[in-house]
């Protein structure tokens, strides 16, 4: 089976120059791979570095060491050393990401926030909006909110906009950072269904889920992040 | 997307006597890409912008631009007339102060139409129709077309300046603090407008700003400057979420939370 994402020996630390250059090690020797059609879950307590790993895989955090090999188009690229331009292309076509919080843009409607990733990939705006409508309906976001900018929405409403935005495209790899944190049970079930549909479509998924029910419903396996604790290697 | 950049800048430096304006700046800009240049005042970002737009000649270094016919031209070896033609047709320059980029004593319509005439349009009806179309794209009512920009508010002037720059379908736009000095509500509207236009027209842009939120909203890539040098560069969200250079960390940690 295809393995579109291979992470090997990745390390990450933060150097705080404003605090006398103190270095905070986060993770080291992170190694795993994700196959097409499976959903792996990063496990471990808060602060273990789960979100940092996801952010490195999305190019949002720099990588100190190691390689992140991604199947991008017909070739393989190392995201850890890729140019900004390549990372942007990977985000447009290969890796999707559902963040914990929605970063809103003033004056842009919820519908267009959701449709935007498709428009960026060259899809017709009206076709993209039609898909956005069906996803927002599936996630039970009241129709009267669709034309409004999401800045004033509640946490759960914003999160559903965010999920719709992440799931609307057909990226072969999808990263999920606690997509169900502020959802009620009914909408959590919708997300579980959406994830199952992605798996069936052969998407490789990697997520963080603190909600145990959701985790058990979607996870094919758990990657224990405490095994990658920085400093453990030296010990 | 094409596989060739639009602009190639190599080891560009500008000295004012013994003082450094900007030093050893190297980057490529691709079509459709928005690059933000951030840093505090005096960091050399405006000097860099003025050198790139050939309003200022650098002390050393090169910049080449891929013309519409696909030919690469060395910017600082072009004749003054060629540079001016480029500036009027294929480039735009949005100044912080709209009065620097507009003709304040001719009508709004003429401000937009003038650039069209510069590229050879002569048909009055067509020019006026295009001007009306562009005014509406920047959300200025058609019935203001014969008013002088002197009679416009600051936000409207800035939108008119943008229309004037974009009407010739440029491929590269330089912007110097495009939202500086505007109310936040006016700023939000302008940013939203710029974002939409840049995406719809596939423009490449170099935006100088000291406002990191503006950079986050408009740009995909970012260069952080201090004392004339680029101290950090990369994807905008990477630089802002995982700043590595001491100066970038200081900038990011100085943002006020609302």
For the stretch A158-182, pLDDT in tens is 999 999 999 999 999 999 999 988 8
Q: Is residue B22 helix, strand or coil?
A: strand
Name the residue among A71, A25, A78 with its Cα closest to residue A52: A25
Q: Which two tokens stand for residue B44?
A: 């050399």
Residue A152 has pLDDT above 50, yes or no: yes
Exposed / middle / buried, residue B104 (Cβ in 10 Å: 0-12, 13-18, 19+) = middle
Name the residue among B219, B216, B193 with its Cα closest to residue B204: B219
Q: Degrees (nearest 5) of the Cα angle B50, B53, B54? A: 85
Q: In this complex, is the C-beta atom of A151 within 8 Å of any C-beta atom belonging to chain B?
A: no
Asked if B162 contacts B193 with a C-beta cutoff of 8 angstroms, the reply is yes
Q: B115 to each of B107, B127, B207, how far by Cα in Å?
A: 13, 10, 21
Q: Degrees (nearest 5) of the Cα angle A126, A130, A135? A: 145
Name the residue among A192, A234, A175 with its Cα closest to residue A7: A175
Which residues of B are less than 8 Å from A108 in CB distance?
Answer: 192
Which residues of B are less than 8 Å from A62 in CB distance?
Answer: 234, 238, 242, 244
Q: How far apart are CA B68 and CA B2, in angstroms?
A: 13
Q: How confident is the model at residue A234 (pLDDT cuts 50, 70, 90)?
A: very low
Residue A233 has pLDDT above 50, yes or no: no
For the stretch B188-232, pLDDT in tens is 778 888 888 887 888 999 999 988 988 998 899 999 999 999 999
Q: Which two tokens stand for residue A20?
A: 């006398």
Length of chain A: 235
Q: Say whether A60 and B237 touch across the interface (CB within 8 A).
A: yes
Which residues of A are less than 8 Å from B33 in CB distance?
Answer: 85
ipTM above 0.85, yes or no: yes
User: If you measure CA to CA, which chain A residue comes closest to B191?
Assistant: A106
Q: How far apart are CA B170 and CA B213, in angstroms?
A: 25
User: If you measure CA to CA, which chain B residue comes closest to A19?
Assistant: B246
Count CA atoms within 13 Å of residue A162 on its CB side.
25
Q: Say whether B33 and A59 touch across the interface (CB within 8 A).
A: no
Q: How far apart are CA A89 and CA A79, in angstroms?
A: 11
- Provide φ and ψ at B198, rounded to 5°: -60, -45
User: If you measure CA to CA, which chain A residue comes closest to B213?
Assistant: A105
Asked if A12 contacts A61 with a C-beta cutoff of 8 angstroms, the reply is yes
Q: How far apart are CA A164 and CA A162, in angstroms?
A: 5
The tens-digit pLDDT sequence of chain B (258 residues) is 457 999 999 999 999 999 999 999 999 999 989 999 999 888 999 999 999 999 999 999 999 999 999 999 999 999 999 998 899 889 999 999 999 999 999 999 999 999 888 888 889 999 999 999 999 988 899 999 999 999 999 889 999 999 999 998 899 999 999 888 777 777 877 888 888 888 788 899 999 998 898 899 889 999 999 999 999 999 999 999 999 999 999 999 887 765
Exposed / middle / buried, residue A6 (Cβ in 10 Å: 0-12, 13-18, 19+) = middle
Q: In this complex, is the C-beta atom of A108 within 8 Å of any C-beta atom belonging to chain B?
A: yes
Predicted local distance difference test score (pLDDT) of residue B70: 92
Which residues of B are less than 8 Å from A60 in CB distance?
Answer: 235, 237-238, 241-242
Q: How far apart are CA A123 and CA B144, in angstroms?
A: 36
Q: A70 to each of A172, A223, B100, B182, how far by Cα in Å?
A: 10, 18, 48, 43
Please report where in the chains the tokens 């992170």 appear, as a residue: A30
Q: How far is CA B168 from the centre of its chain?
A: 15
Q: Is residue A19 helix, strand or coil?
A: helix
Q: How far apart are CA A103 and CA A192, in angstroms?
A: 23
Residues 118-147 of A with CB under 8 A from B: 119-120
Could you say which of B188, B199, B238 has the minimum Cβ distance to residue A107? B188
Q: Say whether A60 and B30 touch across the interface (CB within 8 A).
A: no
User: If you measure CA to CA, which chain A residue comes closest to B218?
Assistant: A105
Distance from CA of B235 to the nearest CA of A (A): 5
Distance from CA of A18 to the nearest CA of B (A): 7
For the stretch A70-82, pLDDT in tens is 999 999 999 999 9
Predicted local distance difference test score (pLDDT) of residue A102: 79
Asked if A223 contacts A48 with a C-beta cutoff of 8 angstroms, the reply is no
Distance from CA of B126 to the nearest CA of A (A): 28
Q: Is residue A61 helix, strand or coil?
A: coil
Number of Cβ atoms within 10 Å of the Cβ of A114: 29
Predicted local distance difference test score (pLDDT) of residue B24: 96
Predicted local distance difference test score (pLDDT) of residue B1: 46
In DSSP terms, which residues pair with A77 in a beta bridge? A70
Predicted local distance difference test score (pLDDT) of residue A232: 54
Beta strands in chain A, from DSSP E residues, in sequence order: 5-16, 22-34, 39-43, 65-72, 75-78, 95-98, 173-177, 204-208, 221-224
Predicted local distance difference test score (pLDDT) of residue A5: 96
Which residues of A are less than 8 Å from B217 in CB distance?
Answer: 105
Sign of the torsion angle spanned by Cα atoms B44, B50, B56, B57: positive
Q: What number is the average pLDDT over the span A176-203?
A: 93
Mutate to test the interface with B, among A91, A106, A109 (most CBs of B within 10 A): A106
């Amino acid at each position: 089976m295809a393995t579109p994402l291979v992470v090997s020996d990745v390390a990450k630390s933060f150097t705080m120059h404003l605090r006398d250059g103190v270095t905070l090690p986060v993770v080291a020797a992170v190694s795993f791979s994700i196959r097409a059609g499976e959903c792996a879950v990063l496990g471990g307590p808060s602060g273990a570095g789960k979100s940092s790993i996801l952010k490195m895989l999305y190019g949002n955090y720099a990588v100190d060491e190691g390689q992140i090999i991604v199947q991008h188009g017909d070739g393989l690229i190392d995201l850890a050393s890729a140019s900004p331009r390549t990372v942007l292309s990977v985000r447009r076509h290969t890796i999707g990401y559902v963040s914990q919080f929605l970063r809103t843009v003033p004056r842009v409607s919820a519908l267009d926030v959701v449709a935007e990733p498709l428009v960026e990939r060259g899809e017709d705006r009206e076709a993209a909006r039609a898909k956005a409508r069906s996803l927002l309906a599936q996630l039970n976001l009241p129709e009267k909110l669709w034309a409004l900018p999401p800045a004033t929405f509640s946490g759960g409403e914003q999160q559903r906009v965010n999920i719709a935005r992440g799931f609307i495209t057909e990226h072969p790899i999808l990263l999920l950072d606690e997509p169900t944190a502020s959802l009620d049970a009914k909408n959590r079930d919708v997300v579980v269904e959406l994830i199952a549909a992605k798996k069936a479509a052969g998407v490789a998924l990697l997520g963080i889920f603190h909600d145990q029910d959701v985790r058990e419903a979607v996870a094919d396996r758990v990657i224990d992040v405490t095994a990658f604790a920085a400093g453990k290697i030296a010990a | 997307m094409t596989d060739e950049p639009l602009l190639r800048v190599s080891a560009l430096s500008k000295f004012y006597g013994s003082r450094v304006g900007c030093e050893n700046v190297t980057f490529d800009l691709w079509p459709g890409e928005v690059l933000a240049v951030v840093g505090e005042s005096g960091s050399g970002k405006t000097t860099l912008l003025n050198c790139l737009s050939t309003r200022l000649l650098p002390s050393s270094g090169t910049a080449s631009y891929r013309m519409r016919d696909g030919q690469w031209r060395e910017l600082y070896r072009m004749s003054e007339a060629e540079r001016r033609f480029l500036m009027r047709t294929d480039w735009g320059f949005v100044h912080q102060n709209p009065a620097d980029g507009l003709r304040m004593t001719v009508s709004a319509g003429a401000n937009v139409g003038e650039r069209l005439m510069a590229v050879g349009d002569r048909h009055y009806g067509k020019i006026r129709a295009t001007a009306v179309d562009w005014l509406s794209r920047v959300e200025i009512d058609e019935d203001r077309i014969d008013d002088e920009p002197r009679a416009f508010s600051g936000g409207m002037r800035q939108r008119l300046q943008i229309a004037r720059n974009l009407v010739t379908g440029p491929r590269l736009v330089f912007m110097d603090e495009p939202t500086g000095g505007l109310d936040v509500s006016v700023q939000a509207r302008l940013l939203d407008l710029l974002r939409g236009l840049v995406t719809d027209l596939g423009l490449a842009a170099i935006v100088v700003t000291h406002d990191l939120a503006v950079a986050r909203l408009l740009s995909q890539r970012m260069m952080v400057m201090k004392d004339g040098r680029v101290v950090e560069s990369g994807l905008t969200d990477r630089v802002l979420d995982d700043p590595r250079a001491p100066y970038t960390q200081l900038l990011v940690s100085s943002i006020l939370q609302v």
